[in-house]
Amino acid sequence: MSLDGKVAIVTGSGRGLGLAYAQELARQGAAVVVNDVDAPTAQAAAAAIEERGGRAVAVAAAVGSAETARELVRVAVETFGGLDILVTNAGVLRDGVLWKTSDEAFDTVVDVHLRGTFTCVREAATHMRGAGVAGRIICIGSPTGQRGNFGQTNYAAAKAGIVGMVRTWAIELKKAGITANAVIPVAATAMTATVPYFAAAVEADAAGEPMPAFYRHDLGFGTADDVSGLIAYLASDAAATVTGQAIGVGGDRIQLWSHPEPIVTAYHEGGWSTAALEEQFPTLIGASLQSVGEHFPPLPDDLQRPRP
């Protein structure tokens, strides 16, 4: 597989997962537009790629507005001659339980994650269609968007919305030969570093040591580099028939998430009155109610860490 001659934009790629994506795309031959809200961080990331023999340019801008989206595409086209790949990774967190989440906290997260994905994809897809490019759109989701998580109303809404948009874009862009997929990463990040459950894995990663097999295999939890291979694959010609999918990856595990489908269907002549539901709901639907949130197995004793 090679991405030679391809041009990619990776939003939020100054550090962490986004940087790993940008570095892997460059390693596979793509020229990369690196984006971060902090200029020195973006420039350092681009310089690191170039030091390894890759091609990169930095754009320091906050993702969300149509102006930033236009600037990212403009720089890709003017610097490298086109645009073939977009990875929307930029994001922020403003966690809080529902009754303590302010309008500002909600709007900030939705603006960067959801609106930022929308504006960047709209601009990239417009260019790709106009240029006749069979492009690749890769949007980053989250297990929180798939299952929910305590204290993350805004983040869950944004990440679930991203996957919903991807399914729609796969339909709309099919005729143009442009694919759109969502990746659901599970990896050591600044966010997971604060969770005691992942402490042993984060410690190993920080020390440059292999993560315990319990994390890599049982939980599918690994490093940022464990996710980047899927990003490069979906960006390649080899994945031309893969579109509209939500694919999870982390550690030693890869998963294909299902699309929402009805799991119970029942009919009642004349419709479902309150009385009919009271009588039949517990047996028809009640036994099949779906769980919410992620459920982790107990940590083995040797991986337990004291809580701070």
Catalytic residues: 142, 155, 159
User: How many Cα atoms sit within 13 Å of 195 on the Cβ side?
Assistant: 11
- Round to whole Å and give the CA distance between 3 and 207: 32
What sign results for the dihedral spanned by CA atoms 224, 225, 228, 230? negative
Query: How much of the chain is in helix, strand and coil states, percent to nearest 5?
Result: 50, 15, 35
Distance of CA 174 to the CA centre of its chain: 21
- Round to whole Å and give the CA distance between 175 and 21: 27
Contact 182, 247 (CB under 8 A): yes
Tokens of 41: 């961080």
Tokens of 50: 């170039």
First to last CA, the chain: 45
Contact 136, 84 (CB under 8 A): yes
State how far the alpha carbon of 158 is from the alpha carbons of 82, 91, 123, 282, 290, in Å.
29, 10, 19, 32, 21
- Round to whole Å and give the CA distance between 143 and 241: 24
Tokens of 293: 């949130």
Tokens of 62: 């906050």
Name the β-bridge partners of 96.
Answer: 152
Residues with Cβ within 8 Å of residue 239, at least 6 apart in sequence: 136, 179, 181, 233
Tally of residues, the chain = 308
